[in-house]
Amino acid sequence: MKFFSTFFLILFLINTSVFAGDKEDNIEQKGKLELLSQLNNTPAPSKLVDLNSRKFRAIVFSTFVPGSGQTFLGNQLKGIGFTLGFYGTVVTAVLAHANMVSREERIEVLTKEYRAAGNFPTAERVWRRIEFERGNRDNDHDRRQIFTIAAAGVWVLNMIDIIFLSSDAGLDEFASIPQNKNFNINFVADDDYSGIEFKLNLP
Amino acid sequence: MINMKRISILFFLLFICLLIVSCSEPVDIIDATHYDRVPRPVSLTAVADTTNEGSKYVVLSWAVNSTNNLRNFEVYRRLNVSNNFASRLFIEEMTFTDTLFTPTDSIAFYYVQPIGIDKFIGRNSDTLQVRLK
């Protein structure tokens, strides 16, 4: 639970910091220092982070969809690995959570049945089912914890990789289809377009 | 103009909040009460003999560890091996003399079932086999 909360707290902080500098479509927003420098005809202060760089976009992509930033920068295999790893663990954690909730509800029903039992054999039979469901529920709980931690771990590794370890393969080289391939699918980003690009070389 | 990015962020945060709230720890199950809700008869013993007139009889006795939530007992009996158990009678004491036998009966099985004040039927005693004399 702590890992889960920490994971989403980090996600929230990054999300906030990313979109704090967000700007409306086609409307350029300037900070106070920039406006002051413009009024005084002095050079604008240099930006600490270039929000329009490919690297920064890749970081934003990887924040929300782990692996997509790596793919965006041209490291496709690594990107696919992170994406599959993250969503695989997340889906498993969600399934384990759903199973756990179902078991909880089943235990609630059995508990009512147990309290209403009028004799020992019935109470004993219901009690054994409650214990059986508790065992399964605890297994689902453990599974959920393990895969949530794993998902958080994959996400953190993904962020470390995209920030410190991933190099940019370049837009042209990445977007073009290699000569030995007839079909390619890529993430692409131009000035006014970002999305998924399918390319097919006709014979 | 509605800023779709900010709405997306709001939904994203709402999703996270719901996700965290739903990740509660499992609630522990209740304690088992049926084992000692009604005290179980223990130490069931029997003495089989014949009267001077030649009638067979069996004297059963048992004990309980507590009398909390104890109303009475129901004694079950099975004559011979092939028959089924049948209720013999309800009794409040912890001893019972059974005289309802035919001359051909040679073996009897007994167990005692406790009944609570809340009408919960408790755990049976062990079954006792008695050879009639």
DSSP structure string for A105-122: HHHHHHHHHHHH--BHHH
Contact B23 A97 (CB under 8 A): yes
> Which pLDDT score is estimated for A100?
94
DSSP assignment, residue A43? Answer: P
Interface residue of A7, A119, A141 to substitute, partner B, most B CBs within 10 Å: A119
CA dihedral B97, B102, B106, B110 (to 10 degrees): -40
**Regions of chain A where pLDDT drops below 50:** 16-25, 174
> Which pLDDT score is estimated for A45?
60
> Which pLDDT score is estimated for B1?
45
Buried b (16+ CB within 10 A) or exposed e, A187-198: bebeeeeeeeee
* pTM beyond 0.80: no
| Residues from chain B contacting residue A23 (CB–CB below 8 Å) | none
A109-141: pLDDT as tens digits: 999 999 999 999 999 999 999 999 999 999 999
Buried b (16+ CB within 10 A) or exposed e, A52-71: eebbebbbbbbbebbbbbbb
Give the CA angle between residues A101, A153, A171 to the nearest 5°: 120
> Touching check for B26 and chain A: CB below 8 Å?
yes
Cα separation, A93 vs B127, in Å, equals: 50
A53: tokens are: 């760089």
| Residues from chain B contacting residue A22 (CB–CB below 8 Å) | 5
Contacts of residue A117, Cβ cutoff 8 Å, sequence gap at least 6: A123, A126, B34, B120
Contact A51, A21 (CB under 8 A): yes
What is chain B's mean pLDDT, rounded?
87
Rounded percentage of chain B residues whose pLDDT exceeds 70: 90
Alpha-helical regions (H) of chain A: 2-20, 32-40, 54-64, 68-73, 76-116, 120-160, 171-175
| Residues from chain B contacting residue A11 (CB–CB below 8 Å) | 16
B23-66: pLDDT as tens digits: 778 888 999 999 999 999 999 999 999 988 889 999 999 999 99
The ipTM assigned to this model is 0.78
> Which pLDDT score is estimated for B48?
93
B103: tokens are: 């001359």
* CA neighbours closer than 13 Å in the CB half-sphere of residue A24: 8
Give the closest residue to A171 by CA, choosing from A58, A52, A74.
A74
- End-to-end CA distance of chain A: give it in Å, rounded: 54
> Which pLDDT score is estimated for A30?
65
B77-113: pLDDT as tens digits: 999 777 789 988 899 999 999 998 988 888 999 999 9
Contacts of residue B113, Cβ cutoff 8 Å, sequence gap at least 6: B41, B73, B74, B75, B76, B121, B122, B124, B125
Contact B123 A19 (CB under 8 A): no
The residue whose two tokens read 């013993």 is B45
A166: tokens are: 């991933």
> Which pLDDT score is estimated for A11?
58
> Which pLDDT score is estimated for A118?
94
CA dihedral B99, B104, B107, B112 (to 10 degrees): -30
Give the closest residue to A175 by CA, choosing from A203, A194, A158, A156.
A194
